[in-house]
Amino acid sequence: MEQEEDEDQQLQLSLKSFILRSLDALKDLPRLLLEGSSSTLEWITLFRCYNLEMQQI
């Protein structure tokens, strides 16, 4: 389990945009995906994600 946590901390992605559409079961955004793209992400678009809850950063 500890190895997985280390790998998660080293995750580096280069997403520029992120679109989620009609995901009623989604309650929060994928943290690792967003953190891994924190230096490149320019915008997020959400459509019909009615159960998505705001989280404090």
Cα 5 to Cα 8, 45, 48, distances in angstroms? 5, 28, 32
The answer to whether 20 and 45 have CB atoms below 8 angstroms apart is yes
What CA–CA distance (Å, rounded) separates 42 from 39? 9
Q: How high is the pLDDT of residue 5?
A: 52
Which residue carries 């690792």 as its tokens? 32
Q: How high is the pLDDT of residue 48?
A: 94
Tens digits of residue pLDDT in 1-55: 455 555 555 677 888 998 999 999 999 888 888 888 889 999 999 999 999 887 7
**Which residues sit opposite 43 in a β-bridge?**
17
Q: Which two tokens stand for residue 19?
A: 């679109």
